[in-house]
Structure 1
Amino acid sequence: MAWRTTGVIGLFAALICAINPVVAAEDEHEKAGQRFGFGDLEIGLTLDAGLGLFGVSNAQNGLGSLSSHGRRKGGRNWAEAYVTPGIDAAYFLNDTTLYGGVKVTGSATRGDGEAQRNSVTDLRPTAFGLSEAYLGWKSGLAFTALGEDAIDISAGRQGFVVGDGFLIADGTLDSFRRNNYVLGPRSAFDRTAILRINTEPVRADLFHLESNTDQQYLRGKDAAATSLHGGNIEWFASSHRDHGRSEYEERQWYLGATVLTLTDADQAISPRRDGMTVYALRSGGALLSSLGEGWQDAALYGEIARERNGATGRRLRAEAWYVEPQYTFSALPWQPRLSYRYMHFSGDNNANDTVENGWDSLFSAGGPRGYGSWDLGEIYARYVGGNSNLNSHMTHLKLQPMEDLSLGAIWYRHNFDKRDYANGVRSERLLDEVDVYALWTTPLPGLSVATVLGAARAGDGRRQQLGTTDATDRTTWLGQMVFSYSF
């Protein structure tokens, strides 16, 4: 493994050093990359690249990870890499702007493949293809009373996130032949039509989305093809100028509501999705900052969502919610931020009735809040389970010793919401996990390095679920380092 990864690192470093962006963005909110002007036409070139090195020992708490050829391995070491070049253009029409962009992604996985119970990338897959292609129109200064670019209409294959990614964040499954299972460089939805109303203090989205699904390419192993439309509205305050109108990270606080309707879905894979309606309310940020200076360090995040389907043969009543208070000790060295979150994703332990109660996590993904968002543990979320039939506690301590360096530790306790007594699961204890991470924004513009060390122990319920109590009493250990470059 060592010689393979050393070569990949060298290639990745050489690629980065060869790139010398002539034009850099002067403001972090401006477009990155190299840009060229031709009268009213502006063209930009972008590049995103990533390299991840991963090692897992005692996979599945000692049970091991099964390879495609039937061999079980207790330890796995692998590398994932991708490159996504892109070109975008903007054409200025008096006060408005036409824009568009195209991105292609090439990726590969090498080594043993990831450490799920049944590994899906152990055959060293590679992939190359179109990852984004979209066209849009922005209102510019046409409606000055509403703000610059208050109306944004776009269509095509593109990324889209609602809130912090609790429901909608990732429309493409990176797995099997698409590989890069952990890095996940593709996230766009297909055949989108999105209207963003970027006003302040209230903004809204109206959208139609389809999952980027290709069962033929993934040989029947892609996610369920799904089509949905919905609306999202948010009341918020910006923390930086008026950038909160269009950027989640720049909202000092927000209150929001979302309604989704799934009009078409692959019933063979997700039988309850077709006809599903989803309702959600959310909050986030420094909601009490208006009470005084001391309250600016306090934040409260939360969301409650319900899934309903009344169609015959597809009846569904499921819910999920979380609450997460945070406090930043800004007067202390390294500005420690402490947060606690309790999460509930409903489960179903009665296979004989006609109503399903298990939560469908839809298109949830890591989200814009970084580690500890909706990938619940670098071990659990990647290799054990998902956000359904789960009650979970999370405690997160984040430190900022330098502006370009973040350190953190996260503890999870995962429990089953419903125990599967029929299959011998008598305990609710699923898994405990601890992750320690560091994120460094290097002096080389665009390059960041993230490292994680993790450990997880299976609870009695998890061992009973696997039916191998004696074979799953070991601690799973994880080490990973991810290099990311963007300009």
Structure 2
Amino acid sequence: MRTHSYAPVLSLVALCTVGLQARAYELYNENDGATVLNADLWAGVGWYTANKNYLGDPEREPGRMHWQEGFIKYGLSGATDKIAAGSLYGGLSMISSGSFGDGDPGGLTNGEERRTSLEDAYLGWKSADMFPALGTDGVDFSFGRQIVTLDGFLITDDGFSPGRAFNPIEGVSDGRFDRGGAFYLGPRLAFGSSAVLKLGGTEGLHGSMMWLKIDSPGQSKTEVAAATVDYTTAFGSIGSTYIHGLHVDEHYAFGDRMEREGMDVYSIRGQGDAGIENADFAFEVARQEKRSGSQRAMFFDAGYTFNDVRWKPAVSYRFSRYSEGWDFLFQGGYRKRLQGEVGVNYAGSVTSNMRINDVQFSVQPTEKLTLNAMYFNFHQLSRRDEQDYSAQEIDLFLDWMVTDNITLSPLVGFYKPDKWRETGGLQSGPGTNTYMQFIVWMEF
């Protein structure tokens, strides 16, 4: 049985780093922002094609697959400091999504998914200057349906969005795991229920405590408690995360998901420039304690941007490793960067029992255009279920902010596994799979 990460949602976050910042249409503004109400609209549509599949079905022709995805998110958000103490903020939104065509080559969607559902519904309070020892807004409490992201890679959001084709329980094909498709775009990011308390702001010593109930049936509707502590300076931050599994819905449990109940996860992490101008470093080492034993995962990356050179070329290297029984939890990737396009989305598990080396190179001809190239080497640590997912992948893509509201993101990827279906792998045939996508992001 294959499991899939929900790393594709990080492609959405990554776009924010090239200019697609959060925007909204201002409906009401009193006293220069004392009270603000915004209308929010976010949409995406993607066209995809691949000449191989990873369905594990010898009856399925290994020919080219074509599929499409789309979504639109619409709602309201606002804030006010016209209360007795501190300030209030909140948001309410809906999402409509769907998948079309053949479905994806990883067998998560079949092209018949459609859904409209509640997305954000949260309310929060910030303390302003009520607690001077904690700094301005040193207390920040929020609850409801909201996106929650921790530093590092253990909790990114609740973005795993499979469709009707995802049936990980043998004999079950009732569509219980369908979350509305749009698997790659992955716009459903909010946790179903949450309570988050942040203390100390973002500088010096600060931390958080939270309770999260995962909404995705593909994540077995897991419930967890978590805490973080960090120390942040101008050179970067060092911190630690602790996660405890509280509950798993047995109706949606598969594989080793029941081990999430009672599981403990610990990590040490850091990020920053270490005092080197234009440099960027990050790492995290994590350990899981569950009934079947201990598991480990880690990553390290280092990058440098040549800001004084034309087009500002940037290069970075990342090493990551997952032990054989590692549970990927609610990770979206490492630092807004996917573990490959074909590799992590469709071609089998690269988030357990795997060692990955990858390099990224990018240039920025203009402020609104970024060209990127990535190389991945996936090496499976040991054979699992007689299958080997070792492979190499190259991805070439660009992010072009055509207007203040529209960004285009075409990509071509080349994925070559060491093994294919007839020799102990998963790909439907030997050779290189050519994968192409074209995505339009819109935010108003």
Q: TM-score range by the shorter chain?
A: 0.7 to 0.9
Q: Secondary structure at the match of 1:74?
A: coil
TM-score (norm 2): 0.84
**1:384 and 2:347 matched:** yes
**1:299 and 2:302 matched:** no
Match runs of 1:444-455 below 5 Å: 444-455=403-414
- Check whether the contact 1:172–1:211 (CA below 8 A) recurs between aligned residues: no
1: CA distance between counterparts of 2:41 and 2:98? 17
- Check whether the contact 2:283–2:299 (CA below 8 A) recurs between aligned residues: yes
Q: Report the equivalent of 1:6.
A: none
TM-score (norm 1): 0.77
Amino acid of the residue matched to residue 100 of structure 1? G
Q: Give the fraction of aligned pairs with identical amino acids, expressed as a percent.
A: 27
**1:334 and 2:311 matched:** yes
Q: Report the equivalent of 1:431.
A: 391
Q: Report the equivalent of 2:371.
A: 407
Amino acid of the residue matched to residue 110 of structure 2? D
One of 157, 160, 165 as aligned partner of 1:173: 160
1: CA distance between counterparts of 2:36 and 2:307? 42
In proportion to residue count, which structure has more helix?
1
2: CA distance between counterparts of 1:187 and 1:342? 26
One of 438, 449, 457 as aligned partner of 2:416: 457
1:53 Cα deviation (Å)?
Answer: 1.1
| CA shift in 2, pair 1:473/1:461, >3 Å | closer
1:148 Cα deviation (Å)?
Answer: 3.0
1: CA distance between counterparts of 2:101 and 2:56? 14
Q: Secondary structure at the match of 2:321?
A: strand
Number of equivalenced pairs = 402
Q: Report the equivalent of 1:58.
A: 52
| CA shift in 2, pair 1:377/1:462, >3 Å | farther
| CA shift in 2, pair 1:406/1:186, >3 Å | same
1:136 Cα deviation (Å)?
Answer: 1.1
2: CA distance between counterparts of 1:196 and 1:265? 26
Q: Report the equivalent of 2:39.
A: 45
Q: CA RMSD in A?
A: 2.6
1:464 Cα deviation (Å)?
Answer: 3.9
Q: Report the equivalent of 2:140.
A: 152
| CA shift in 2, pair 1:388/1:455, >3 Å | same
Q: Report the equivalent of 2:5.
A: none
- Check whether the contact 1:458–1:472 (CA below 8 A) recurs between aligned residues: no
2: CA distance between counterparts of 1:48 and 1:303? 32
- Check whether the contact 1:171–1:210 (CA below 8 A) recurs between aligned residues: no
1: CA distance between counterparts of 2:57 and 2:92? 37
**1:486 and 2:443 matched:** yes
1:419 Cα deviation (Å)?
Answer: 2.1
Greater RCO structure (CA 8 Å; 6+ sep): 2
Q: Report the equivalent of 2:196.
A: 194
1:403 Cα deviation (Å)?
Answer: 1.4
One of 261, 269, 286 as aligned partner of 2:244: 261
Q: Report the equivalent of 2:88.
A: 98
2: CA distance between counterparts of 1:450 and 1:285? 28
- Check whether the contact 1:170–1:187 (CA below 8 A) recurs between aligned residues: yes
1:41 Cα deviation (Å)?
Answer: 4.3
2: CA distance between counterparts of 1:130 and 1:85? 10
Structure 1 stretches lacking a partner, 5+ long:
1-26, 215-221, 239-251, 290-294, 348-357
Displaced runs of 4+ in structure 1, greater than 6 A? 27-31
Structure 2 stretches lacking a partner, 5+ long:
1-18, 164-177
- Check whether the contact 2:420–2:426 (CA below 8 A) recurs between aligned residues: no
* Rg (Cα) greater in structure: 1
**1:207 and 2:210 matched:** yes
- Check whether the contact 2:159–2:187 (CA below 8 A) recurs between aligned residues: no
